[in-house]
Structure 1
Amino acid sequence: MAARGIRRVAMLSAHTSPLDQPGTGDAGGMNVYVLELSRRLAARGIEVEVFTRATSRHLPPVVEADEGIRVHHVAAGPFEGLTKGDLPSQLCSFVRDVLRVEAWHEPGYFDLVHSHYWLSGQVGTVLRERWGVPLVHSMHTMAKVKNASLAAGDRPEPVGRVAGEEEIVRFADRLIANTAEERRELIDLYEADPRAVEVVHPGVDLDVFSATEPDDEPPLVVFAGRIQPLKAPDVVLHASALLDVPHRVAIIGGPSGSGLDRPTELTDLARELGIADRVEFVPTVTQAELATWYSRAAVVCVPSYSESFGLVAIEAQACGTPVVAAAVGGLTTAVADGVTGTLVDGHDPAAYAAALRPYLTDREFRSDAGAKAVRHAESFGWDVTAERTLDVYAAALHDREAAREEAG
């Protein structure tokens, strides 16, 4: 039986597919979020239909991703060669094909729309009006927040995105924020109605990410994520160059965003800093392989300029690995400063070197933080995320029904 009376959800992930491998291109934490949330909803008897843009003519129109989860590859614009910045001009085609899918069914086929990222949110505002169902939206990142803390060499988000996000905030029945800080940003920067913004933390797959004892010597520092200025992998390399203690560094991930313009920048930097012999560059890996890397590490470093949450930090802690992270966005929630890791103000490599040092030199200190990290991560399971999300769905549906009765 479907939970909370919800039978079917249209899940919108227009610019990136939940079936893509996280860590390269536009695939990252949001891909994990959409797929894992969909799995937990399906396990509760709710059918989830995910709509994402087709990036190859060879993709099947529909994929049964898991029991109860159907992924639609929507043809919207050229299959290849489009960047995320090109996609706003293709949204009309995307909307048309999503409407076409729903038109094959009886009215009321979908109970609710849940959109992810602003491009999907633009589509969601149209579907909300056409189908007469609530729109729940998750920002994941916000232009005004990103533009306030740009990395050197990174491009600011365009005014069109800002306007699009403001429109979504006006129309969405509920907004899901990853953290209390993101909730404040939606209210303060976008004038969101406080009654419409709910905090639901993302989760971690505790079956995949679990603790083992690190056995690498010399101790290993891991960075995992898309290779772009926003994620600041260069800070990890600069910090490593300042450390005079034995250690190695693994940079895991593929180029993304403005990082695509300079694909050899990090390898060149490692050579310039004289640390190429201690740095390993690892292409994007599966979730299971990533868990192995986390478990091998003495510490994971997440020096991002902006993070709506920072799933890498929670995944690492679930593996018993402490985290050194920037004190920005959701990382201040994901990492318990001074308990499961260390939060660093700013992006000075010297500050990161100082924060990393005790985890590399003091095994007892590292083990104690790692044990606490496991307990901290256990409160972020995806089942908790799914239950809280269902509460948000139910509230949006209740308000929509109440408005109909009042209007009637």
Structure 2
Amino acid sequence: MTDEINLPDYLVSAGKPISIPYNGAVARVLFGPIAFSRVRQWISSGDFDILHLHEPAIPSISLLACWAAEGPMVGTFHAAAKHQKVIYAIGPILEPAIEKLSARIAVSEAARLTLTSHLETDAVVIPNGIYAKRYANGVAREKWSGNTIGFIGRFEEPRKGLHVLLEALPIITRFAPDVRVLVAGPGDPKDVEESIDPQLRHRFEFLGRISEDDKADFMSSVAIYVAPNTGGESFGIILAEALAGGACVVASDIPAFDSLLGSGKYGALFPSENPTELAKVVIDLLRDENKRVELAKSGKEHAQIFDWDVVAKDIFSIYEMALVGGEKISLSSENRPWNRFLSREGDKD
């Protein structure tokens, strides 16, 4: 099939995903009998010691694998939201699958609370990993330096909060007339540019997608990195990368960001969706270089706990716990209705 062309040997295609709105973003989901058949073939031929499934509580390849397999399985849960309608809707068929997991990981306390409130099960918190050393070695570039505010993300997604920064900018420029906003990430800037006050458009620069090396330099260059996200975040990996790169971070006080930044110890916080308060925090930091430097220093030290050298050891300890029984992964012998239906329909492919 065309979706299998030029895949490296360590990747196996389960088919072509579809895009659906999920948790304020767009998720690429693959689910159904054909995918289930491919997952079963993969499990049968893989001779795996353990399966590590990401987000097995939503219709996905991970959930299909959880249904199809038995043996040592670890699930990592990323989503953080007060009301997960999908989980509520399919809760009765999720619970038996989640109970099959040997261990559960949540990437943040916010993700853990989502899991406990929706499925009445718990997890150990292990954060997402980053290559902290790569970001620590970033080199400041003159073109991104000065009184600059950095933003990285899919700026077309409302939950990323660029509109909050746009509303704060007129206030910021009254006290910092030379400030510039550098926006990196995928998307068409045309609509955003049209919403910017014409007198302020020259202060914006859209960089498009940037490489990981460029991102490290970006974080080392900007005076302040702003994450004005309005919700739907379970961790905030871009914040961890910004901290590791030595940026002074300003973020909205959504639960995941508040937790990652130590309630303001490692980065400044402002009330979510409040451009006036965002402006006040940014102005205060632009005026006080010593405060910026100290905040960036403490943040950079804190970011080391997210380095893969640390995170991988924690995950491996979970693997060791899950493998205590000595069994390997095999195809499930369960005869639940959805297993029978998916297997029968998939065999028609």
TM-score tier, shorter chain, comes to: 0.7 to 0.9
1:212-261 C-alpha deviation (Å, 9 max, x unpaired): 56755541101111220111111112112211212100111124xxxxxx
Give the Cα–Cα distance (whole angstroms) in 2 for the partners of residues 119 and 391 of structure 1. Answer: 23
Structure 1 unmatched runs, 5+ = 1-53, 65-69, 148-156, 256-261, 402-408
Greater length-normalized contact order (CA 8 Å, ≥ 6 residues apart): 2
For residue 361 of structure 1, report the CA deviation from its aligned partner.
2.2
Structure-to-structure mapping, 1:304-323, within 5 angstroms: 304-306=229-231, 307-323=233-249
1:16-39 C-alpha deviation (Å, 9 max, x unpaired): xxxxxxxxxxxxxxxxxxxxxxxx
Q: SS of the residue aligned with 1:226?
A: coil
1:171-222 C-alpha deviation (Å, 9 max, x unpaired): 43322111233323321x214323xx11101222123201556755541101
Give the Cα–Cα distance (whole angstroms) in 2 for the partners of residues 282 and 275 of structure 1. Answer: 17
Structure-to-structure mapping, 1:370-381, within 5 angstroms: 370-381=296-307
Let me know the Cα RMSD of the aligned residues: 2.9
For residue 387 of structure 1, report the CA deviation from its aligned partner.
1.1
Question: Which stretches of structure 1, 4 residues or more, deviate above 6 A after TM superposition?
Answer: none
Q: SS of the residue aligned with 2:133?
A: coil
For residue 134 of structure 1, report the CA deviation from its aligned partner.
2.9
* 1:112 is aligned to 2:50: yes
Distance change in 2, residues 1:309/1:358 (3 Å): same
Amino acid at match of 1:230: R
Give the TM-score of the pair, scaled to structure 2: 0.79
Contact 1:76 1:90 survives alignment (8 Å): no
Out of 268, 286, 293, the position equivalent to 1:360 is 286
Contact 1:118 1:164 survives alignment (8 Å): no
Counterpart in the other structure of 1:7: none
Counterpart in the other structure of 2:322: 396
For residue 374 of structure 1, report the CA deviation from its aligned partner.
1.4
Contact 1:140 1:178 survives alignment (8 Å): yes
Give the Cα–Cα distance (whole angstroms) in 1 for the partners of residues 35 and 67 of structure 2. Answer: 16
Amino acid at match of 1:123: I
Amino acid at match of 1:199: V
Counterpart in the other structure of 1:192: 120
Out of 142, 150, 173, the position equivalent to 1:222 is 150
- Computing the radius of gyration over CA atoms, which structure comes out larger, 1 or 2? 2
Amino acid at match of 1:74: A
* 1:277 is aligned to 2:202: yes
Give the Cα–Cα distance (whole angstroms) in 2 for the partners of residues 164 and 254 of structure 1. Answer: 33
Out of 68, 71, 75, the position equivalent to 2:15 is 75
Contact 1:118 1:165 survives alignment (8 Å): no
Counterpart in the other structure of 2:295: 369
Give the TM-score of the pair, scaled to structure 1: 0.68
1:85-125 C-alpha deviation (Å, 9 max, x unpaired): 596674332221122233345xxx11222222357764334
For residue 160 of structure 1, report the CA deviation from its aligned partner.
3.5
Contact 1:178 1:309 survives alignment (8 Å): yes
For residue 264 of structure 1, report the CA deviation from its aligned partner.
3.5
Contact 2:180 2:204 survives alignment (8 Å): yes
Give the Cα–Cα distance (whole angstroms) in 1 for the partners of residues 205 and 88 of structure 2. Answer: 38
* 1:63 is aligned to 2:15: no
* 1:101 is aligned to 2:42: yes
Counterpart in the other structure of 2:162: 233
Distance change in 2, residues 1:264/1:301 (3 Å): same
Distance change in 2, residues 1:173/1:130 (3 Å): same
Distance change in 2, residues 1:137/1:305 (3 Å): farther
Contact 1:76 1:91 survives alignment (8 Å): no
Percent identity over paired residues: 21
Distance change in 2, residues 1:319/1:165 (3 Å): farther
Structure-to-structure mapping, 1:5-404, within 5 angstroms: 57=2, 60=5, 62-64=7-9, 70-76=10-16, 82-84=18-20, 90-104=31-45, 109-118=47-56, 122-142=60-80, 144-145=81-82, 159-160=85-86, 162-164=88-90, 167=94, 169-187=98-116, 189-194=117-122, 197-210=123-136, 212=139, 215=142, 216=144, 218-227=146-155, 228-243=157-172, 244=174, 245=176, 246-255=178-187, 264-271=190-197, 274-306=199-231, 307-398=233-324
Amino acid at match of 1:299: I
Contact 1:239 1:353 survives alignment (8 Å): yes
Contact 2:133 2:244 survives alignment (8 Å): no
